Amino acid sequence: MPLALLPELSEVRDMLRKFTQRELDPISDIIDKTGDVPPIAREVLHKHGFLGMRLDPAHGGSGASLAQYCLALEEFSRSNRVFTLIMDATSGLTPMAIQQHGTAAQKAKYLPGLSDGTSYMAFGLTEPDAGSDSASMRTRAVRGDGGWIINGRKHFINGGDIADSVMVMTVTDPEKRARGGISAFIVDRGTPGFSVTRVDQTMGSEAVRLAELTFEDCFVPDTALLGEAGDGFKIAMGSLTKGRLGVASSCIGVSDKLIEMCVEQASVRTTFGQKLSERQAIQWMIADSAAELTAARALTYQTITQYEEGNDVGSAASMCKLLCSEMVGRIADRAVQVHGGMGIVRGFKVERFYRDIRHYRIGEGTSEMQRMLIARDMFKNGRVTHL
């Protein structure tokens, strides 16, 4: 489908599609076989200017717009979710928070390494008792001599086991909490008191791992504070709006690829003397998938366009994330059904896609959390106030 709402990016899509097929698909095969991300993955993305693509050129980035970044996520997700995670670690939540709220010294220290592939960053928000309810976090940072002392635990941190630095959200004022009592700190690997205490493998690609990070009397200097003390919750929530549009874009890309695979399979597979493409049950699965994708893509593109123009998109980002993450689950299920036995056997991409996409309904805020945010917006305003 052409980029009707973003016509200036149609040529970019063609370039991204060819790049994905030529450069990323072979690496994706390596990832599937080994369960690890080879160094060449970041090297290729760096070589072609995709690492740190949303960062300012002054720090080695490409200065890409949110629309260009989301389009790259959409295309790369057609190959492997791992590539979108690398993109997020160099242009997503933590990097953009530093670019927007960091001091000149922080930008100079952290951003160039993200653009040239020599460093990797993670976002430390989730805790054992504070997932969707992030305002209930228990990790504390208290004033020390010339800095802060952090104690607490974060878990399910994507890339936390390999990150060179982590943006850690902490409670600095227990009375205020989300209303000015949460602060963000950049904590480097190797800082005394900071350790990776557990690494979990997910149900998706074996190369995607989630880490538990522990802080025990971890001292960081005042220069580690991102923004002002108490700005952490605002910084995190602002980053999540863009993050949810990125997730929606990734879901669109996977859905598009799965539908493409279903059409190809149905066109060549014959049972009882008849091609699957001639069977109404299969036709309806593909037709429903195409209709859902078209609607989800239209809403997401429109929301990105409105955001790029400086408009308040309200809860539209949550709508995009909800609609797209739920959609890709249904499409992946149909794709497995269309492929039959091939759809459930390890080594076939449909099976890996099926496992990988389950994360999208949880990460960046669960579907239930998105519904709550949308409903809260509706009750506050009495109507849809955006788009």
Q: Which of 148, 159, 213 shows the shortest CA–CA distance to 183?
A: 148
DSSP, res 77 = T
Tokens of 59: 């720090």
Q: What are phi and psi of 50, to 5 degrees?
A: -95, -15
Contacts of 278 (CB under 8 A, 6+ apart): none
Verify whether residue 309 is a known catalytic residue.
no
- Are 182 and 172 contacting, i.e. CB atoms less than 8 angstroms apart? yes
Q: Which of 71, 108, 98 shows the shortest CA–CA distance to 87?
A: 71
Strand spans (E) along 126-202: 140-144, 147-158, 165-171, 182-188, 194-201
Separation of alpha carbons 181 and 234, rounded Å: 10
Give the H or E element holding residue 260. Answer: helix 232-268
Q: What are phi and psi of 194, to 5 degrees?
A: -110, 125
Burial of residue 273 (CB within 10 Å: 0-12, 13-18, 19+) is exposed
- Which value, to the nearest 10 degrees, does the dihedral of the CA atoms of residues 40, 156, 206, 72 take? -50
Give the H or E element holding residue 209. Answer: strand 209-221
Q: What are phi and psi of 354, to 5 degrees?
A: -60, -45
Catalytic one of 75, 127, 212, 364? 364
Please write down the long-range contacts of 128-133, taking CB distance under 8 Å and 24 or more positions apart: 128/153, 128/155, 131/156, 131/366, 132/365, 132/366, 132/368, 132/369
DSSP, res 309 = T
Separation of alpha carbons 44 and 97, rounded Å: 25
* Catalytic residue numbers, as ranges: 364
